[in-house]
Amino acid sequence: MSDLIERVEAQVSGRVQGVGFRYFTTQQARRLGVDGWVRNEPDGTVRIVAEGPRDSLERLLDRLRDGPAGARVKVVQTDWTTASGKLAGFSVRYF
């Protein structure tokens, strides 16, 4: 397991709002020890910004592709960048 911290920004589309997706994401991220945040976007998608070891982020993305009961995930778009190191904990953000 690598100690290198990476950052992934993800946009999840499909039926992902109104089904507990943000809380599901928060729970999964905390279990994996990932820092960051999640929020609903006006276009109906869910945006996630997360930092942590690559393997933990990959596992988070795998769980996002399944989503919680009631969700119908169509696409998870990702953008990998350099970690800022400024995120602590994982939370739900609001507009």
So which residues are the catalytic ones?
22, 40
Q: What's the Cα-to-Cα distance from 19 to each of 22, 33, 54, 82, rounded to whole Å? A: 8, 23, 27, 31
Per the DSSP assignment, residues forming a β-bridge with 8 are 50, 80
Please give the biggest Cα pair distance in the chain. 37
DSSP state of 20: S
